[in-house]
Amino acid sequence: MDYWAKGCGLPRGGWYSVGVVALFIVLPFVYGNHDLLFNMMMYLALAQGINVLFGFTGYLPFGYVGFFGSGAYGASLAVLLLHLPPVLALLVGAVIAVLLALLLAPLLRLSGAYFAIASLAASEVVYYIVSNPHLESLTQGPYGISLARAYDADASYAAMVVVLALAFGVVVYLRNSHLGLALQAIREEPVSAEFAGVNVVRERTCAWLLSAALAGLAGGTYAWHVSVFYPKSVFDLNISVFAIVFTLFGGVATLLGPIVGTLLLYGLYNWIGISQPEYFQLVFGIVIVMLVLFLPNGLASLLRRVNVHVP
């Protein structure tokens, strides 16, 4: 097993991750739209989170945004109620997302569309709880959160760089580890995976929690960065859909697939989506249909067809 490629000091895919992370460290000095860069990093991280779950285990979490929103609220409330410094609060957000994932772990017994829909329903439930006016004293209910006191555009940008690096780290690890191989075996044929010796329930839960933790971190960091938000905006289904489509477009179970998918499609969104949303919806719709029809395994499968290894 040549899991750890020799000579270059980093496992397969490692240098690409370092390159992309370095790019986002340098870009703010030469490009003024920092919010765009921030959001791009956020989607790159979320796409890798989807990748961890869907790419490696085959579970498609439409309700993924539930973890993002829980992270946003967990971190914000840690700042507002516990008066924690934002960086610690981000960890609280991640923990809240992981606890939610533990609570929802039984959903993994469902398969295919049932899981996708149940996870969506679960994230709606969390949204309705958080935004419930009766909880105003705790969550501010539908009126949203203001973190004005903690606002720090540069620090929160730096935090997202770290979250992105973590997300890449997780996927590079999975691409190069026994756990990643075991997860792919589970995706392909769970019963055979058991006979190969894999504890399917445990490994699958592990991927689910990792994936939730990434979304929770991204959500908390987003909350810190925008500092004022409504429950609707952090439990927005579009966040799930974007991250899923970006990941599928590039190609799951690879490191580069979701990166390329996010850069291209989120780039496209910012290029025409904001000024001419109706055209973006059209193009986006066409992309999704083409993807399903002709490239169900994403751009990466084009390269694999000509025998190019995609890290």
Partner 1 sequence: MSPSALLVVERLSKHFGAFQALDGLSLKLASGEILGLVGPNGSGKTTAINVISGVYTADAGTIHFDGQPVGGLPIHRRAHLGINRTFQVPKPFKGLTVSENLEIAAVYSGAGRDEIGKCLEFLELAPLAGREAASLNSAQQKRLDLARALIARPRLLLVDELAAGLNPAELQRMAQTLMTIASSGVALLVVEHLLSFLRELTSRVVVMDAGREIFEGPLDVAARDPQVIDIFLGG
Give the interface with partner 1 as residue ranges (CB under 8 A).
1, 178, 181-182, 184-185, 187-189, 191-200
Shortest gap between Cβ of 107 and partner 1 (angstroms)? Answer: 20
Q: Would you state the structure tokens that stand for residue 31, as one six-digit string?
A: 């490009």
Closest CB to partner 1 among residues 113, 196: 196
Closest CB to partner 1 among residues 109, 232: 109
Closest CB to partner 1 among residues 75, 193: 193
Shortest gap between Cβ of 191 and partner 1 (angstroms)? Answer: 6
Shortest gap between Cβ of 254 and partner 1 (angstroms)? Answer: 12
Closest CB to partner 1 among residues 46, 181: 181
In the three-class reduction of DSSP (H, G, I as helix; E, B as strand; rest coil), residue 199 is classed as: coil
Shortest gap between Cβ of 179 and partner 1 (angstroms)? Answer: 9
User: Taken in order 164, 49, 62, 218, is the CA torsion positive or negative?
Assistant: negative
Tell which phi-psi region holds residue 15, choosing left (phi > 0), alpha (psi between -120 and 50) or beta.
alpha
Counting beta carbons within 10 angstroms of the beta carbon of residue 243, is it exposed (0 to 12), middle (13 to 18) or buried (19 or more)? Answer: buried
**Quick check: 212 and 98 in contact, CB under 8 A?**
yes
Shortest gap between Cβ of 147 and partner 1 (angstroms)? Answer: 44
Closest CB to partner 1 among residues 151, 173: 173
- CA-to-CA dists, residue 208 to 12, 90, 106, 108, 157, angstroms: 23, 19, 11, 9, 26
Shortest gap between Cβ of 177 and partner 1 (angstroms)? Answer: 10
Closest CB to partner 1 among residues 185, 226: 185
Rounded-to-integer distance, Cα 121 and Cα 132, Å: 16
Q: Would you state the structure tokens that stand for residue 4, as one six-digit string?
A: 């750890």
Bridge partner list, 146 = 228
Rounded-to-integer distance, Cα 307 and Cα 301, Å: 9
